[in-house]
Structure 1
Amino acid sequence: MKIAVVAANGRVAKKVIAEAVSRGLEVVAFGRHDENDTQAKVYHKKDILDLTKEDLAGFDVVVDGFGARTAEQQPMHVKTSQYLCDLLSGTDTRLLVVGGAGSLYVNQEHTAVLSDSPDFPAEFLPVARAQGEELAKLRERNDVKWTFISPAADFQADGERTGKYLLAGEQFTLNSRNESIISYADYAIAMVDEIESGKHIQQRISVVRA
């Protein structure tokens, strides 16, 4: 398989690249940094919004690792993923998006989401709402083979790579220890498993440590 990872210098993206490379997949990274600080053998310095259809032609999967750091940048979640959708529209290339936990449903009726909870951390509300809107816009795209993968609520950059995870869907899910936690490394395993299987096209899935 041939995979493109955009916003490749991000911490989650680098874990996904490392996992994919370890499985022998061909990875091409696109990032904003001058240097290639990923494990991809091929790296192109290119912003997402400068990518062209030709840049992404021939890939089986494109991974969108974009993540905004400030409140002012949050609208870029929708802008960048929709731009990638436009480039991939009508093709067989799948788009996998690194999502957030805030948009996971917390009731069976799917009318309330985690970010609506009174104890949801205020500092994470801007990104939760931005990625919730990103998911809503993806749901409108029937012309793209997208998959949005939400991590657990406690998404740990330096967490342990256990090699195991629970695959869930739209519902906020706890493991047997009543935890909603996953490391970047285990999230990357789930992402690459989905890259290889392609089982959840035009769906949002979620993952939590087993």
Structure 2
Amino acid sequence: MKSMKMAVVCANGKAGRLIVEKAVERGIEVTAVVREENRSSAQNVIQKDLFSLVPEDLAGFDAVIDAFGAWTPEKLPQHSSSLKHLCDLLSGTWTRLLVVGGAGSLYVTPDHTAQVMDGPGFPEAFVPLAGSMGQALDELRKRGDVRWTYLSPACDFRADGGETGKYLFGGEELFLNEKGESVISYADYASAMIEEAINGSHIRERISVIEA
């Protein structure tokens, strides 16, 4: 059976490195797309800025995982521009695009009129970030030419949390585990992302994942 081929964009980041690690563990041939020297466990490397990628760079992959993140106010618009660029590169191809998303845009009402970021308890400092990621998702929904999947983490997304190996997939609405929590570690999120890349069929859908 042919080995799956995957590219991880921004593979040097915390989430990116863990996603690469989990993919390699599953026997996937991984190419890291990085601006600087590769610090992940990927077998292959494309050393290029995301915005300098051309269609030929991403040709032939079964899946491309977008682990891009921007945190400073002047770079927040790049959530939209970077995702648009990747979509343009993959337009009309069979390659799946899986996006490391945010939790702020998850819905908290059945009619989908209110989101997590709208709540009074949502940290004010994170509103701009959640808003920019939510806008990027809204723009992604309009792309009928790309086989995308957007994976939102739990509200409490723990960079240094332990790996449990137990997680639950959900849909567009915020949901809680049996302890009443919305939490997941980066490590468990990375495992869930790879599971979705291998087995999932959520084409042009946003899904979510929390620790069981």
Q: Same fold (TM over 0.5)?
A: yes
In the alignment, the residues of structure 1 paired with residue 126 and residue 51 of structure 2 have an alpha-carbon distance, to the nearest angstrom, of 25
Identity rate of aligned residues, in percent?
56
CA distance in 1, matches of 2:192, 2:73: 28
**1:143 — aligned with what?**
145
Give the ranges of 4+ consecutive aligned residues of structure 1 lying more than 2 Å apart after TM superposition.
none
1:20 corresponds in structure 2 to 23
AA aligned opposite 1:95: L
The secondary structure found in structure 2 opposite 1:110 is coil
> For the aligned residues, what is the CA RMSD?
0.7
Alpha-carbon distance in 2 for matches of 1:114, 1:169? 14
Q: Distance in 1 between matches of 2:8 and 2:110?
A: 34
TM-score (norm 2): 0.97
Question: Which position in structure 2 is the counterpart of 1:200?
Answer: 202
Give the structure-1-normalised TM-score: 0.98
Counterparts of 2:180 and 2:72, CA distance in 1: 31
Aligned-pair CA distance for 1:198: 3.1
Where do 1:5-16 residues align within 5 Å?
Answer: 5-16=8-19
Provide the C-alpha distance between the structure 2 equivalents of 1:156 and 1:125, rounded to a whole number of angstroms. 18
- State the SS of the aligned residue for 2:122: coil
SS in 2 for 1:100: coil
Runs (5+) with no aligned partner, structure 2: none
Q: Work out the CA distance in 2 between the residues paired with 1:71 and 1:107.
A: 29
Structure-to-structure mapping, 1:1-210, within 5 angstroms: 1-33=4-36, 35-210=37-212
Give ranges in structure 1 of 5+ residues lacking alignment.
Answer: none
